[in-house]
Amino acid sequence: MFCDYYNPQQRTYCKRLRILCPEHSKDPKVADDEVCGCPLLVNVFEKSGEFCRMAKKKCLKHFCWEKLRRAEIDMERVQQWQKIVDLFEQEQTIRMNMANRGGVLGLMLHQTISHDTLFDVQPQVT
């Protein structure tokens, strides 16, 4: 999903989406007979079920629509993974809190001192 190209001069990795990284990936060649195929929209957001039938090389209205749609899908995937990581961290903290709660077993396993019995003992006077 990410480019992960290593730059040895800067000792860093490229963390752009692979589909949007122009430096480290090449776009495939477009054939002469390839159709654009972009889904056409009605009222801005509603899909009409029809597709653009113009040649891909001549269609300037939907330039690189496939790349942009793939980038949207990848970004949604990244957001979903982030939500999963956040939920996992919440689960870990809840489990830690539940483990650290005081229960009967914890009280029975630890030593307790009864302070009442310490004061009941009277020194004997002779």
CA distance 126 to 116: 25
Count of structural domains within the chain? 1
Q: Is residue 46 a part of any domain in this protein?
A: yes
Q: What is the pLDDT of residue 71?
A: 86
Q: Is residue 13 a part of any domain in this protein?
A: no
Which amino acid appears at position 99 of this protein?
Answer: A
CA distance 62 to 57: 10
- List per-residue pLDDT tens for the chain, 126 residues long: 778 777 788 888 887 777 777 776 777 677 788 888 888 777 767 777 788 888 888 888 888 888 888 888 888 998 999 999 999 999 999 988 887 776 676 666 766 666 676 666 566 665
Q: Is residue 51 a part of any domain in this protein?
A: yes
Q: What is the pLDDT of residue 98?
A: 81
Q: Is 119 helix (H, G, I), strand (E, B) or coil?
A: helix
Q: Is residue 37 a part of any domain in this protein?
A: yes
Q: What is the pLDDT of residue 83?
A: 97
Whole domain around residue 48: which residue ranges? 31-62
Q: Is residue 95 a part of any domain in this protein?
A: no
Q: Is residue 26 a part of any domain in this protein?
A: no
Tell me how far CA of residue 94 lies from CA of 64, 80, 88, in angstroms.
45, 21, 10
Q: Is residue 38 a part of any domain in this protein?
A: yes
Q: Is residue 39 a part of any domain in this protein?
A: yes
Q: What is the pLDDT of residue 106?
A: 64
- The pTM of this model reads 0.60
User: Which residues sit opposite 46 in a β-bridge?
Assistant: 42
